[in-house]
Structure 1
Amino acid sequence: MLSLAHLSRIRMVMVETSLSANIGSAARAMKTMGMSNLVVVNPHENPLSEQAIARASGAQDILERVVQVPTLEEALQGCELVIGTSARDRALPWPMLTPREIPQQIATVGAEGDIAIVFGRERSGLTNEELARCHYHVHIPANPDYSSLNIASAMQIIAYEVRLAMLQGEESGRAGNEEPQLRARAEDLEGFFQHLQAMLVDIEFADPNNLKQLMIKLRRFHMRAQPEPVELNILRGIVSQTQKTIGRLKDV
């Protein structure tokens, strides 16, 4: 059942934010909706700068607890569900949500799983490679003639929809539309993708100098499937055995 307790398992992730003031505004948006876990990836300015504290307007406690990491991979450690924000269509379609549909996916996460909602750079957003780490993309259906939202505004909209659904869940006592499931964690998926890529090169299925599009398509396939840890272990076992067999054949 969705409840406000889920808020403690959601981390808002900001990638390479240019202005610390935007981090402060994001902290304020989070605190108004009862969220407290903010992770910043390689920020250009100190999240505790005077500008950030001023924009936080009473949410300095969130800034003081902010987690800084150098890479998105580290920011997603331990997450079973990763949702990336995208303001534009991508060449390769990905499962897409509106902010109002996010809580339905949160309801499917197991009792121990964390959730990450990832926000990109002010000017360019998230790269295709970063979005490929996400199970879903979320798009705010703003005015198509002027759809520019700053990060804090986008975060406020998403946080509001999540909080509203959780309040309704507590009031109604109803479970979500989906039963909770145990997903493979982000770091385990990344290990599998690196393992799979190495095998594809070993068996000469893929050109090591031209892997980008193939791996993005394979990522999309596996992220859409949302494998459980046991299923991911089976896939890694298949990859390992394939590599061993190819190695024996080469030695003959």
Structure 2
Amino acid sequence: MNLSNVVIILSRPEESRNVGAVCRAMANNSLKTLRIIGKKTDFNEERVRILAIHAASIWENAQFFDSITEAAKDCVLCAGTTRRRGKKRGKLLLPEEFAETASDITQNGKIAVVFGNERTGLEEEELDECTMGVTIPSSAEFGSLNLSHAVQIIAYHLYRKSQCESKKISRGSVPVSLERLGKTVTGIADSLQKIGFFKVTGRTDMEKFWTDVLSRAAISESEAAYIEKIFDKAAGLSGKLKN
């Protein structure tokens, strides 16, 4: 586990003090990269620093974006924290399971962990921008967690995993980013559409499926190119058979 390749993304946080507390939680667990969906001018600098204390450098180096997709485009996978299961979301991993999944990938690629607004959490549209889901079990009577507490729990599991695997050998290949993976997914969808595998209306769901699956697999550049070649050739052969 390479903690320098872990990116914490806060989507639309409202309270400046919570952002400061998140910085401190990150510093407790050796995480340094913070990205925020919103504008820096939306936050009260003094309030952030009050709770960040000696972790203010994380706030000072934070980057700001307009969307989760933009903030995570250089990452291999993007995990949204949520209590909502959703019909198309698949299995939600527990924090310790997520740490296992993330461990090998962070040796050579970045991962993003996304946390939603303090009041509403991540909306459905925001979760659709993520490639997998992580959930923190909590009481059915009062399941809502403070933003910084949620970050602390996930960050702690990642930190502990890094401590347990400090001597682990790198996987040896560099996984492609989500931005690069988009090219492969588009190619797959184009090929499937050419052979009449699905109607145009089903393309979005198909692309989401392949993005989620391939991001978790953390494929390399050569693997991405090979997958593109397979689907492109299949579409070409299908066209010849029709003629």
TM-score > 0.5 by shorter chain = yes
- Does the C-alpha gap of structure 1 residues 196 and 168 become closer, same or farther in structure 2, counting only changes over 3 Å? closer
Match of 2:6 in 1: 10
In structure 2, relative to structure 1, the CA distance for the partners of 1:57 and 1:126 (3 Å cut) is same
Give ranges in structure 1 of 5+ residues lacking alignment.
none
Higher helix proportion, which one?
Answer: 2
Q: Which residue is 2:87 aligned to?
A: 91
Cα 1:207/1:154, change in 2 over 3 Å: same
2:42 counterpart SS class: coil
Give the aligned partner of residue 192 of structure 1. Answer: 184
| C-alpha distance in structure 1 between counterparts of 2:45 and 2:165, whole Å | 38
Aligned to 2:45: 49
SS at 1:59 equivalent:
helix
Unaligned stretches of 5+ residues in structure 2: none
Which whole-Å CA distance do the structure 2 matches of 1:187 and 1:122 have between them?
A: 28
When the two chains are superposed, the root-mean-square deviation of aligned CA atoms in Å is 3.3
> Kindly tell me: are residues 212 and 78 of structure 1, through their superposed partners in 2, closer, same or farther at Cα, counting changes over 3 Å?
closer
The structure-2 alpha-carbon separation of the partners of 1:217 and 1:10, relative to structure 1 and needing over 3 Å to count, comes to: closer
Cα offset, 1:152, TM superposition: 1.1
Judged with a 3 Å threshold, the aligned counterparts in structure 2 of structure 1 residues 202 and 145 are, in CA distance, closer, same or farther, namely same
* Map of 2:15 onto structure 1: 19
Alignment correspondent of 1:79: 75
Residue of structure 2 in register with 1:159 after alignment: 155
Counterpart check, 1:108 vs 2:104: yes
SS in 1 for 2:104: coil
Identity of matched residues, %: 26
Paired residues of 1:13 and 1:118 also in contact (CA < 8 A):
yes
Would the aligned equivalents of 1:41 and 1:72 in 2 still touch at CA under 8 Å? yes
Cα deviation for residue 151 of structure 1 reads 1.7
Helix, strand or coil for the counterpart of 1:56?
helix
Moved more, 26-35 or 151-160: 26-35
Distance 2:36 2:203 in 1: 29
Describe the superposition over 1:137-164 as per-residue Cα deviations: whole angstroms up to 9, x where unpaired. 2111111221101221100111122222
How many angstroms apart in 1 are the aligned matches of 2:205 and 2:138? 30
Q: Which TM-score applies when normalising by structure 2?
A: 0.81
Amino acid at match of 1:233: A
Q: Distance in 1 between matches of 2:153 and 2:213?
A: 29
How far 1:202 sits from its partner (Å)?
Answer: 4.5
The Cα shift of 1:44 comes to 8.3
Aligned length: 243
The DSSP-based 3-state class of the residue aligned with 1:58 is helix
Could you tell me the TM-score, scaled by structure 1's length?
Answer: 0.78
Aligned-partner SS, 1:234: helix
The range that moved more, 18-27 or 65-74, is 18-27
